[in-house]
Structure 1
């Protein structure tokens, strides 16, 4: 049984996704399984990505939350890592995080710093995007400070929560709110992922009025106490 399950969800991003897969295969840690969930791609992704995965799931287009949940259901690792198909990992990302999680057994989640590329050029972080660990619930209310690609999550945490499939976007914002409302979160101050923005097909660019989904998540968090 692998220690880590790496889950890549993708939809019509075969070239970006192939590069994301390559960044996984270059990890210094080899104790993982790679699960790719294809959310109904029509661009030939299956032919390119299928042979690269340990498990390849093709499903009717159902949205990112359903794809993440399908990947988790198929997984067997003690720790779960998601990698957005347009992001990349530094080669020691898994090693650094699993070392931390093994030494901190009460921590449900750790996340890392990130580098930003927009249209191929480096983009500096804005001050209000600064990251930290500990009690970050209020910070998570303000914005989605945890990139899914930077997180390592204990299996039992996701078994209890799952991603909300009513959300076409902001499913990560919703998840981090629920976790941070109950637990402290660990931050590893190293840039171990590369976020690539400014390209066609980004959910955050294509979905209008995203704030309504954040409001839904906030109301849900308040109702849960």
Structure 2
């Protein structure tokens, strides 16, 4: 049905096809549009300076609106297509891809039923031309779309997206981007407007040797640059953690792609090797040097002992390397300010949370029945088992969620023997009379009840609201004496965690996403980052 005699109530869909020397594929793209079971469609082809048959293929169809421009790139061509289109809904289809049956009807129904949506996206097929392999790509995303997009482009193919026309009154594709212009647009839109996603497959993505996505160094550098544009707009800890995770996910994804490409091909470009070396130095060095490692060690020791062994140490091959005096390279640590002044919350989360949360997870069976937590009850609800009542003690009476108000070191209004468990994480160092606070914990715990306590050892000091009440740090030795003084006859277990690297990472504000589990799990008692206590109050004697 043509646009002229279709029902007027049905919104017009403009399918915009930017084309640069892909005339050989253009007819197949047209056919996939004309087979759609949707009554009102217009096709706009933007010829971006092609020198092949693009003009002839497009102009032999009177219903196709053909626009020519000098070569300006994909983003500029799409923007030109928007200007020359008239549809209420817009779809961008590359000339070498095609739409699957019912694609336009499926997406249009979403927008008609939810007119507040800026766009809707769906699943797609990946067609690998060289092998004929077909992969189905669907991912279920139902909410928090901006947070999800910060952690990767779950959409994956722009032809699966149908936009409201009004979106382009405020946004356009960025012509300065050589790649990832679609991802940039999704982030900007979803930060401001609601969007939706479904798992129905609506388009096919043809993967061949001329795809820009094959240039992995370009794709990685561009996608990280696009993601970095969002950094100044991140306000919540959740957004900052999603951003940090997104950086790791993109590096991991393209690192895998690049490593597979390099190891399966006898040739690698300098750009590919440089990119892989930057994000996976150990893996790259092993790949390049492992076959002659024994000989290489001897050569490096004899002729370039420090530089050579340093390289092998960085690759994880020679682990006992220590730089000679005067040969320490401080690198990114050669600075007087940390990477983060927010304990690493803006870089994926604080490293000390690994120890705190693992401790609570191990002791989750003790977080039961009636539980008191200080400030909020996040850990109680996250790790607790069989909770009958969750109480919160807060110093501020304006906190509507607090069931008790007061200072833990001076709370006579809290009854004796009331709680089965007290979760006291990262709080004791903020209480000047910490001995009295522990005495209160002992008093208000039931016999047989458990105190789960964590305290900082080596730590940055908060620069915000807790700056004026940040009094103490505690070693495992101090805790041993302190708990035996304040919890008479109790069963006490003290844990200690950290090493020189993690202590340094914490002080510099590195996030947990920037260190490995192996680095976190190594313990050196000389560098205690977090110390923990499990104290079980003794039962009354018979």
Q: Return 5+ residue gaps in structure 1 as ranges.
A: none
Q: Render the CA deviation track for 1:164-202: whole Å, top value 9, x for unaligned.
A: 1111111001001111212332112211111111x1321
Match of 2:14 in 1: 5
Q: Does the CA-based 8 Å contact 1:84-1:149 persist in structure 2?
A: yes
Match of 1:40 in 2: 49
Q: Return 5+ residue gaps in structure 2 as ranges.
A: 4-10, 235-542
Instruction: Indicate yes or no: 2:219 matched with 1:219.
Output: no
Instruction: Indicate yes or no: 2:113 matched with 1:103.
Output: yes
1:200, 1:96 → 2: CA distance? 31
- Given candidates 124, 133, 138, the residue that maps to 1:121 is 133
2:81, 2:227 → 1: CA distance? 26
Cα deviation for residue 223 of structure 1 reads: 3.1
- Aligned to 2:30, what secondary structure does the other structure show? helix
2:58, 2:216 → 1: CA distance? 26
Match of 1:24 in 2: 33
CA pair 50-145 structure 1, distance change in 2 beyond 3 A? farther
Q: Does the CA-based 8 Å contact 2:32-2:101 persist in structure 1?
A: yes
Question: Which structure's CA Rg is the greater one?
Answer: 2
Q: Does the CA-based 8 Å contact 1:133-1:185 persist in structure 2?
A: no
CA pair 16-131 structure 1, distance change in 2 beyond 3 A? farther
- Given candidates 169, 173, 187, the residue that maps to 1:177 is 187
1:9, 1:121 → 2: CA distance? 26
The within-5 A match list for 1:76-91 is 76-91=86-101
CA pair 133-57 structure 1, distance change in 2 beyond 3 A? farther
- Given candidates 141, 145, 162, the residue that maps to 1:132 is 141
Match of 2:73 in 1: 63
TM-score normalized by structure 2?
0.39
Q: Does the CA-based 8 Å contact 1:169-1:207 persist in structure 2?
A: no
Q: Does the CA-based 8 Å contact 1:134-1:184 persist in structure 2?
A: no
Match of 1:150 in 2: 160
Higher mean C-alpha displacement, 85-94 vs 168-177: 85-94
- Given candidates 156, 177, 188, the residue that maps to 1:167 is 177
Cα deviation for residue 110 of structure 1 reads: 0.4
Instruction: Indicate yes or no: 2:199 matched with 1:189.
Output: yes
Q: Does the CA-based 8 Å contact 1:112-1:151 persist in structure 2?
A: yes
Cα deviation for residue 209 of structure 1 reads: 2.2
Cα deviation for residue 206 of structure 1 reads: 4.4
TM-score normalized by structure 1?
0.90
- Given candidates 50, 53, 70, the residue that maps to 2:59 is 50
Whose RCO is larger (CA < 8 A, sep 6+)?
1
2:224, 2:55 → 1: CA distance? 35
Q: Does the CA-based 8 Å contact 2:37-2:101 persist in structure 1?
A: yes
Cα deviation for residue 124 of structure 1 reads: 4.9
2:75, 2:228 → 1: CA distance? 19
Instruction: Indicate yes or no: 2:208 matched with 1:209.
Output: no
Q: Render the CA deviation track for 1:40-93: whole Å, top value 9, x for unaligned.
A: 111121111222352111111111000000000111111111111121112211
1:133, 1:85 → 2: CA distance? 30
Aligned length: 221
- Aligned to 1:98, what secondary structure does the other structure show? helix
- Aligned to 2:204, what secondary structure does the other structure show? strand
2:53, 2:84 → 1: CA distance? 22
Superposed CA RMSD in Å reads 1.9
Cα deviation for residue 208 of structure 1 reads: 4.0
CA pair 50-142 structure 1, distance change in 2 beyond 3 A? farther
- Aligned to 1:84, what secondary structure does the other structure show? coil
